[in-house]
Amino acid sequence: MNFFNNISEIRKWIVIILIGLVFFFGYRYFTSNKNSSSIEYDTLLIQQEIKNVGKLVVTEGHFAEVMTYKDKRETYIPGLSFDKKAIVIINADVTVGFDLSLVQYDVDEEKKTVTILSIPKEEIKISPDIKYYDIESSSFNEFSPSDYNKISKIAKINLTKKIEKSSLKSNAKNRLMSELSKMLIVTNTLGWTLIYNGETINDKNKFKL
């Protein structure tokens, strides 16, 4: 009788142990899947936000310039030359921007970090409208396509110098930082870390190109 009681007792413990194992592995299964799904969801959300800010951030400006173009063709006769000149008025629309679709980044799901690897250089586009006034030339030194090309090159060089001295590039960088700060908000909200230039970014003021 004791023998059968012992067998029943053993069976009871076996059943309890089996039920315990079922609950344990069931808990591990559901909790691990939930954690994995959460990380995948966070990753997709972060990548979507990076895609959203991946547009061309543009700052526009307008520049005007007046220049006098002169060209002199000397002759073998002292004091005799054939001259040509023109007053040139340049109005130019200028845009400065960053193509954020070219931003390189790395998402580490295990460490929950987003590392910005590189940001593309700004793109400057100059669209000049050139008009010529008081054109003077001689039959021995007429205006040619090469003159107009030379004037266009000089105008772009002068405009580039003006752009460097203006606030256009700094304004474009400010807009860039504003766009990138959206990534910071998302990563912080999800409990992830944003890294740039080897530094953890906790504040948008730390973003520096």
pLDDT in tens, 135-163: 887 777 788 888 889 888 988 898 889 88
pLDDT score for 15: 54
Which of 47-56, 70-79, 165-174 is least confident?
A: 47-56
Q: How many CB atoms neighbour CB 92 within 10 A?
A: 20
Q: What is the mean pLDDT of residues 164-173?
A: 89
DSSP category for residue 76:
S
Q: What is the mean pLDDT of residues 125-141?
A: 85
pLDDT score for 179: 82
Which residue carries 């003006």 as its tokens?
162
Contacts by 49-55, CB closer than 8 A, 24 or more apart? 49/182, 49/183, 49/186, 50/103, 50/105, 50/114, 50/183, 52/182, 53/100, 53/179, 53/180, 53/182, 53/183, 54/99, 54/100, 54/101, 54/103, 55/100, 55/101, 55/179
Q: What is the mean pLDDT of residues 167-181?
A: 86
Question: What SS3 class is residue 190?
Answer: coil
In the numeric block, which tokens belong to residue 197? 């230039």
pLDDT value at 4 more than 50 = no
pLDDT score for 80: 66
pLDDT one-digit tens code per residue, 77-107: 776 677 888 899 999 999 998 888 888 889 8
pLDDT score for 139: 73
pLDDT score for 19: 63
DSSP category for residue 119:
-
**pTM attached to this predicted model:** 0.63
pLDDT one-digit tens code per residue, 38-64: 777 677 777 777 776 666 778 899 999
Q: For the chain, percent helix, then strand, then coil, each to nearest 5? A: 50, 35, 15
Q: What is the mean pLDDT of residues 182-188?
A: 83
pLDDT score for 54: 66
Q: Report which of residues 19 and 132 the model is more confident about.
A: 132
Q: Which residues, at least 6 apart from 68, have a Cβ–Cβ distance to it below 8 Å?
A: 85, 86, 87, 88
Q: Say how far apart CA 60 and CA 21 lie, in whole Å.
A: 67
Q: Which of 163, 83, 90 is nearest to 123 (CA)?
A: 163
pLDDT score for 3: 42
Phi, psi of 11 (to 5 degrees): -60, -40
Q: Say how far apart CA 204 and CA 52 lie, in whole Å.
A: 18
